[in-house]
Each structure stands twice: as structure tokens, then as C-alpha cells.
Amino acid sequence: MPPSAARDALGGQLLRYLINGLVATAIHYGVLWFNIEVLHLPLAGVANAIAAVFGIAVSFLGSRYFVFRGSEGSVTRQGALFLMVYVGIAMLHALVMYAWTDRLGHDYRVGFLLATALQMAFSFLANKFLVFK
């Protein structure tokens, strides 16, 4: 594949990755809203944990069939790797927040943005080169 074609393909994946992330986030938030506003779950943490399962499932399916379409491999293997990546991402996010806010005393909102940017980059690269290669 010529360099310009590879760059165009990568750009297409990045755009699809962003779209998939927005859809997964909307599903996550929608289920969270439903759990709190309609089902009246009394604990936001529980409501959010349930919603996260839906968001992660949508993210996985979107990654497999939309972002990195054409990738081959067992759904079970890819699903297990995807979950391991997300565990690593959650730990990275928590570590950045801890270091930025708790240890260095900086604004948590800026830390959240930094952690989320690292999370997005790590997620894309891990999914492209490990999970859906």
C-alpha cells in the first residue's frame, strides 16, 4: 500500500474510531440516565457500572465491525483482549488522576482531560495493533 493510501486508511480508522466512541458514550450515558431517571436506581455508582457494560459492549462491536472492519480473529479472543485493554485503560486513567490531582495538587478537570486524551490514544493503538490486528 503506498504511503498516501496507508495515511488515508489510517485517517478513516481514526474518524470511525471517534464516531464509535461518541456512539458508545451516548449509549453509556443513555443507559445511565434510564437507570437513574426511569428505574430510580438509588446508587449512581451501580447505575453507572450497569451503563458501562452497555457502553463497552457497543464500543467493542463498533470497533470490530466498523472501526477496524475486515479484521480477522476469534470474537472470544478479541473480546478478552479488548477487556484486558479496558482494564489497563481504567488503571492508566486512575493513575493519571491520582498523580495529577492527589499528588501534584492540580485541577482535577485538567487531569481528567489529560487522562482521557491518553486513554483515547492508548485505546486506538492497542485496539489497532493488538486486539483487531
Q: What percent of the chain has pLDDT over 90?
A: 73
Q: Residue 45 has which C-alpha cell?
A: 455508582
Domain of residue 19, residue span: 1-70
Residue 57 sits in the same domain as residue 79? no
**Residues 66 and 5 placed together within one structural domain of the fold:** yes
- Mapped to the 3 state alphabet, what secondary structure does the chain carry? CCHHHHHHHHHHHHHHHHHHHHHHHHHHHHHHHHHHHHCCCCCHHHHHHHHHHHHHHHHHHHHHHHHCCCCCCCHHHHHHHHHHHHHHHHHHHHHHHHHHHHHCCCCHHHHHHHHHHHHHHHHHHHHHHHHCC
pLDDT(101) > 60: yes
Cα 31 to the chain's mean position, in Å? 16
Q: What is the pLDDT of residues 35-70, one digit of tens each?
A: 999 999 999 989 988 999 999 999 999 999 999 987
Task: Give the domain-ending residue among 38, 70, 102.
Answer: 70
Number of domains comprising the chain: 2
